[in-house]
Structure 1
Amino acid sequence: MSRILPPALGAVAALLVGLGTLSAQPAKAPEKTPEPYAAREGFSANSVPQGRGEVQLSFAPVVKRAAPSVVNVYASHVDKRSNARASAMDEFMRRFFGEDGGRGPGGMRGERAQKSLGSGVIVDETGLIVTNNHVIDNMNEVRVALADRREFEASIVLRDPRTDLAVIRIKNPTGGVIPMPFGDSEALEVGDFVMAIGNPFGVGQTVTQGIVSALARTQVGSSDYQFFIQTDAAINPGNSGGALVDLQGRLVGLNTAIYSQSGGSHGIGFAIPASMVKAVVDTAKGGASTVRRPWLGARVQNVTPDIAESMGLDHPTGVLVASLAAKSPADEAGLKRGDLILSVDGQTVDDPEAFGYRFALKGIEGQTKFGVLRGTGRITVPVKLSPAPETRPRDVLKVKTRSPFLGATFVNTSPAVAEEMQVDFPSEGVAVQAVDDNSIAARAGLQKGDLVLAINGAPVTSTKDLDRLTRNTLNMWEVAINRKGEVLTSVFGG
């Protein structure tokens, strides 16, 4: 299913799930009629087709090449509850709502199933398939249907929520499969023809055609690495995880989200570039179940027009180094606070999202080179590529005593934890790793990534501190947390 994005923030009047109707003044007629555009030699906008070949131009050869590699993904989560626990609710649902009493596909009482529908792309001969993580999120059973209607069970190889990508593998792919080759998403240009292939609304494999509407779209909000291909090829629910292909039938993007008010396509769809997809697939091929990314150890920020003017730039570009962690790759490379990073290995970056995307693609071995403006001079800074270190044990703690923290899981902070949760490091406090649904901690408003700083005025520097401070039941709890750089203090009853 295609991810439908949440409402936009700030001054954007339209929803992120759809652009509202925009009114505009009628454009003035051009003072001079432009010359006809020659689409190709011997043919212009004023010409008529000269033969059957010009009338019968078709994308069919591209579809025949690419379509066999696109699959339908059916995922489900079967919750097997005990009969004693389920029976009362099952009887209630059967009597008043006509449901099946909690019977699963096999008719077993005490099972509840959640289901998800999406698409995927075969990327190697062994039956490895890439799809969106939100298609299989929280699911424990996956089946895929190939274009030729063969169906197979699949196992989950890797989940990467930060990119909204996942890799699954067909179990025993008898009869062989046809993988789709990767294209070069870095070579795409606005205006290039592309096609989206997937399973919209569960109707079966469908092909739509359009152009690349924009590149490097950020602020879309469907993953931590915001750097999307925008296309007007129709993408609808169920297309998630499907292929965006070029005219050579190569994978240039993985369809993942749409702007829509109705849930249907309005000509604004987004795809994860193939360069990021390939990096995640290569990790899965290497046998890893998680994706490890390079750690910089520096916080960067946007360049405003005022900052650009003060630095002698004619327009805002690059990212400004705001802070560095001691002994981090950024610190050891000699980066300084106030440096302006303009490029990563020669590729220009215009905002923190683009910088994060470019840097994440570099892997965790060797080095990369930053183009940096320092003062009035431009320099090249080599930066070592390495994963974020686990500088102290996580000491995972799940609070079980009655308190505002009941139902939350906590870990000690380290560069590795900060990188996973996208929080600044160094940072004080202990990090919220997870919050159970409908728990006291959830109702208290705790969120993943929060840093608990103090309880009733006592500092919290480790999970051992948190465990000690929550052992006793109290009538009042004063809690200080750091949420995305803002310190919040709340008081809760016991």
Structure 2
Amino acid sequence: MPYLSFFQRTLSACCCSAFILLFSLSNAQNVSAQNPQYIPYSFADIAEKIRPAVVNINTVQTIGAIIEQIPQANSNDGRPPSREKNPIHQFKRRSLGSGVIIGKEGYIITNNHVIEASDEIRVKLSDDQEFQAKIIGKDVKTDIALIKIAPTAQELPVAVLGDSNALRVGEWVIAVGNPYGLSQTVTAGIISAKGRVMGNPYDDFIQTDASINPGNSGGPLVNINGEVIGINTAIFGQVDQNRFAQGIGFAIPINIVREVVDDLQQYGRVKRGWVGIVIQEITPEIVASFNLPNTKGALVTGIVPDGPADKAGIVRGDVILRFNDVDIAHSIDLPRIAADYEPGATSSLLINRDGEEMLIPLTLGEFPEPETPTFPFEELPVQ
């Protein structure tokens, strides 16, 4: 074997190292080109892209207190004292939130609980311009609201909406908002989980460990391409004790938001198909009691009087197995599937009644708006 000098051996080793390094870099570049979800060196470019479209929202609600005044009992005419109700004080309750501009006409997405019951809504842009906003529509079920500011002479920056269905657990995201009034705050984290349910059949939350705090509500959750993939809405904790979990925040997927906003722009509310029943999950105990083959389906435990199910002949104890051509794997599937249909649509339910399967035609009603809003930032069971 020929003798290699120190220089030759060193040169040979360097060439090999260079080849390996270049090969590794080439492979890394190929991986990055095929899959853009690499670890970014900096989030600055992403933040600069989205921040102009993020707004601060300040709301004011006027609240009046009423007290009963009881006069002295020694009235001259001998009548018993009367009770009088007089307003004694009014005060203004202020709240903070965030929003994201989605239309050059001034349309802004935020959370319903940010603007609910407010008398005045003020929007502050990233360049410190302030505008009065009006409510276009709101949806309590998904906690989404659409508001609008008057167009300005300049063109408003508009956020790019992404595809939340394409999200994968572990992807990098950033949250932008107005936590505790600290405007244009950017935090980073990852997608921790998808499809979280917090007690509402319409829940399908994205969970993230990007820091989300009160005031972030209504702000965007953004992927590394600068696209909005969710609207931040809740953190996990106990409101009454002012204790909130760290690194457990929730956002509404943008694909759900898109559908809601379309209805809000047209009708000011979301039109959802409604069956008019109370249902529960089928447990192994129910399977044994009702002699069912498995836990699939939704058990009917209540009927809304004169509702669609009542008119169709559905009764308590029925097990709904299929809605049109979609199997019901879990009870939560039924209201979600029905909500995708227009009120008035004719549907068919495959049910199990006393061990016998039958098809029942049903005309969907419109889901009634709840009288009171549901607010996040509560201690709720998460699935």
Q: Which bin holds the TM-score, normalised by the shorter protein?
A: 0.5 to 0.7
- Supply the distance in 2 between the matched residues of 1:150 and 1:176 (Cα, whole angstroms): 13
- Please say which structure displays the higher CA radius of gyration: 2
SS of match in other structure, 2:366: coil
Q: Paired residue for 1:281?
A: 261
Partner residue, 1:91: none
Instruction: Please say if 1:147 is aligned against 2:126.
Output: yes
- Measured against aligned partners, the alpha-carbon deviations of 1:159-214 in whole angstroms (never above 9, x if no partner) come to 33333222211123331223334433344343333322211121111222222222
Give, in whole Å, the separation in 1 of the partners of 2:165 and 2:324. 14
In the superposition, relative to structure 1, how do residues 111 and 420 fare at CA in structure 2: closer, same or farther (>3 Å)?
Answer: closer
Q: 2:49 aligns with which of 65, 73, 76?
A: 65
Tell me whether 61-70 or 342-351 shows the greater mean CA deviation.
342-351
C-alpha change, 1:60 and 1:387, in structure 2 (3 Å) is same
What is the letter of the counterpart of residue 271 of structure 1? Answer: A
| Among candidates 252, 267, 272, match of residue 272 of structure 1 | 252
Instruction: Tell me: CA distance 1:367–1:80, structure 2 relative to 1, closer, same or farther (3 Å).
Output: same
Contact 1:226 1:357 (8 Å CA) reproduced: no
- The alignment status of 1:312 with 2:281, answered yes or no, reads no
Matched, 1:242 2:222: no
Could you tell me which amino acid in structure 1 is paired with residue 118 of structure 2?
M
Deviates more, 1:190-199 or 1:227-236: 190-199
Distance change in 2, residues 1:40/1:152 (3 Å): farther
- Once the 2 structures are TM-superposed, how far is the Cα of residue 61 of structure 1 from its aligned partner? 3.8
Does residue 255 of the first structure (1) align with residue 204 of the second (2)? no
- Output aligned runs, 1:63-212, within 5 Å: 63-78=47-62, 112-212=91-191
Structure 1 residues 339 and 55 mapped into 2: Cα distance closer, same or farther (>3 Å)?
A: closer
Letter in 2 for 1:276: I
Query: Is this contact kept in 1: 2:59–2:115, CA < 8 A?
Result: yes
Name 2:12's counterpart in structure 1. none
Matching residue of 1:410: none
- Residue of structure 2 equivalent to 1:338: 318
Partner of 1:267, secondary structure, is strand
- Helix, strand or coil: the match of 1:355? helix
| SS of equivalent residue, structure 2 residue 175 | strand
Rounded to whole Å, the distance in 1 between the matches of 2:193 and 2:111 is: 21
Given that residues 298 and 328 in structure 2 are in contact (C-alpha distance below 8 angstroms), is that contact kept between their aligned partners in structure 1? no
Aligned in 2, Cα 1:56/1:242: closer, same or farther, shift over 3 Å? closer
Query: SS at the partner of 2:159?
Result: coil
Q: Which amino acid is the alignment partner of residue 279 of structure 1?
A: E
| Structure 1 position 80, deviation (Å) | 8.7
Secondary structure of residue in 1 paired with 2:269: coil
How far residue 296 of structure 1 moved from its aligned partner, in angstroms, is 1.0
Q: Using CA pairs below 8 Å that are at least 6 residues apart, which structure has the higher relative contact order?
A: 2
Paired residues in the alignment total: 311
- Deviation of 1:224 (Å): 7.0
The residue identity in structure 2 corresponding to 1:237 is: P
CA-CA distance at 1:236 after TM superposition: 0.8
Paired residue secondary structure (2:338) = helix
- Residue 262 of structure 2 aligns to a residue whose secondary structure is helix
Contact 1:276 1:361 in 2 (8 A): no
| 1:441-490 Cα shifts (integer Å, max 9, x gaps) | xxxxxxxxxxxxxxxxxxxxxxxxxxxxxxxxxxxxxxxxxxxxxxxxxx
Partner secondary structure for residue 260 of structure 2: helix
Q: Check 1:224–1:307 CA distance in 2 against 1; reply closer, same or farther (3 A cut).
A: closer
Specify whether residues 192 and 311 from structure 1 end up closer, same or farther in structure 2 by C-alpha distance, changes over 3 A only.
Answer: farther
Q: Which structure is higher in strand share?
A: 2
1:59, 1:380 → 2: CA distance? 55
CA RMSD of aligned residues (A): 3.9
Give distance in 2, aligned partners of 1:381 and 1:195. 48
Q: How many angstroms apart in 2 are the aligned matches of 1:274 and 1:161?
A: 16
Q: Is the CA contact (8 Å cut-off) linking 1:342 and 1:350 kept in structure 2?
A: no
Structure 2 segments unaligned to the other structure (5+ residues) = 1-23, 29-37, 66-88, 373-383
Deviations 1:51-70 (A, max 9, x none): xxx99633444333333222
Corresponding position of 1:96? none
Q: 1:193 to 1:76 in 2, by over 3 A?
A: same
Q: Which amino acid aligns with 1:311?
A: L
Match of 1:292 among 261, 264, 271: 271
Partners of 2:93 and 2:203 in 1: how far apart?
29
Displacement of 1:127: 0.9
Shift of 1:332: 7.3
Verify the 8 A CA contact 1:75 1:141 in the aligned structure 2.
Answer: yes
- Percent of pairs with identical residues: 38
Give 1:366-445 correspondences, 5 Å limit: 366=345, 384-387=363-366, 419-421=368-370
Q: Is the contact made by 1:236 and 1:263 (CA closer than 8 Å) also made in structure 2? A: no
Q: In structure 2, how many angstroms separate the alpha carbons of the residues matched to 1:329 and 1:339?
A: 16
After TM superposition, give the deviation of residue 279 of structure 1 in Å: 2.9
Superposed CA offset, 1:103-133 (max 9, x none): xxxxxxx863211001012222211112112
Alpha-carbon spacing, 1:41–1:374, altered in 2? closer, same or farther (3 Å): farther
Give, as a single letter, the amino acid of the residue that structure 1 aligns with 2:299: L
Deviation at 1:258, TM superposition (A): 0.6
In 2 relative to 1, CA 350–244 (structure 1 residues): closer, same or farther, beyond 3 Å?
farther
Assess, with a 3 A threshold, how the Cα gap between structure 1 residues 193 and 78 changes in structure 2: closer, same or farther: same
Give the alignment's TM-score, normalised by structure 1.
0.53
Shift of 1:362: 3.6
